[in-house]
Amino acid sequence: MEYTRRKALLAAGGSLATVFATGQVAGDRRRSRSRDRNPTSSDGSVDGWPTDDFDRIDTPPYEIEAEDCGFGSDNERDPLYLCDEMPAAPSLEFEYEATSRSISIDGGLGSGDGGDGNPQLFTALLTDETDLERVDLETTTPATALLKRTDFAEQAVLIVQTGWGSSAETPYIKRIEETDDGIHAFGCYRRPCLTTTDYTYRTGVARFERPDELESGLTSLTVDPETRVNVATGEGIVTITDGW
């Protein structure tokens, strides 16, 4: 199911082969899916993209069995089927909460016009108590509670935002690997069969064990059985203008 235009949105109700920390990439299979070797943020810059080893859009480096939505409760697919075969290790210890009641953060989704119906993603690292000043913590959700309980001496936070479409399709993080200078998070879109017809952005909050070095972050989200999107912290809002 693709959500590349506003009309479609309103009408609709990562891997062992690729381990960033050890420098492995998916090779020709990944590169054959590349559509953007020069990732751009909302201001058209390429600042913040951490490595040439990953394309903006590539192929999930693990097998995914496509699951159709059936009829009745016994035939509905697992909303996290895109992550089923994704390895859960190695990973830093972390806790994760996602919310369909969006959490606002300076520079993130929610401050613009919704990308004119194009998919948008945003990620940010919170590494210090003062970083919480960037976040709207007024809403009461498990995600905001997780943020408020962060001990920044031992922990840090990765915020992942996705848009636009049904509030039921929240981002999900399955593992967070330590890299030479930060982290690489792997996850997928949660895609339930039953979705809402609202049009919003969604926010995930991962509070993780702080590694020795934390200067950069990369998030790889599988969005459908053939597509993974890679987004770096520090590059601002990423708009996918050509669809998945």
Q: What is the rounded average pLDDT of the residues 186-202?
A: 92
The domain limits of the chain are 6-239
pLDDT at res. 19: 30
Other beta carbons within 10 angstroms of residue 42's beta carbon come to 16
pLDDT at res. 75: 58
Q: Parallel, antiparallel, or unpaired: how do β-strands 227-232 and 155-165 relate?
A: unpaired
- Return the closest-CA partner of residue 160 out of 79, 222, 67: 222
What percent of the chain has a predicted confidence (pLDDT) above 90? Answer: 59
Q: Check if the beta carbon of residue 229 is closer than 8 Å to that of residue 240.
A: yes
pLDDT at res. 68: 80
pTM given for the model:
0.78
pLDDT tens per residue, range 207-239: 999 999 999 999 999 999 999 999 999 899 999
pLDDT tens per residue, range 17-68: 233 333 322 322 233 333 333 334 333 334 444 456 778 999 999 999 877 8
pLDDT at res. 71: 63
pLDDT above 90 (res 190): yes
pLDDT above 70 (res 14): no
